[in-house]
């Protein structure tokens, strides 16, 4: 069993704001000991040849990258405004949404 005792369990329970009921301490000591033992086993594995993972999947972002456009690619606001059915004082007029 790993190095965990009643005092460290009480400290962890306090940090997690858990109230341990009577009789639960032994169960939690055993469970936490088993978890820590498992981590000790994992630490013994040789991972020298293993590449670190950056996210758990090989999928790439599906979002397009930002692109810088030359000035001639910008939208001409005057041209769009002229195509809109109604405009007034440089603004597009839309019908009211709420009456």
Q: Domain coordinates of the chain in residue numbers?
A: 6-43
pLDDT score at 1:
44
Mean pLDDT by 10 residues, the chain (99 residues): 80 92 90 92 91 75 77 73 84 84
pLDDT score at 41:
93
pLDDT score at 73:
62
Adjacent-strand bridge partners of 92:
87
Tally Cβ neighbours within 10 Å of residue 77: 10
Distance in angstroms (rounded) separating the CA atoms of residues 2 and 43? 13
| 3-state SS class at 30 | helix
pTM of the predicted model, to two decimals?
0.46
């Amino acid at each position: 069993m790993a190095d965990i005792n009643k005092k460290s369990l009480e400290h962890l329970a306090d940090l997690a704001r858990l109230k341990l009921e009577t009789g639960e301490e032994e169960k939690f000591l055993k469970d936490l000991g088993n978890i820590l033992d498992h981590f000790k086993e994992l630490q013994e594995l040789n991972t020298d040849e293993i590449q670190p993972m950056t996210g758990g999947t090989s999928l790439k972002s599906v979002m397009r990258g930002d692109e810088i456009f030359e000035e001639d690619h910008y939208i001409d606001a005057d041209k769009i405004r002229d195509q809109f059915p109604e405009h007034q004082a440089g603004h597009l007029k839309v019908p009211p949404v709420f009456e």
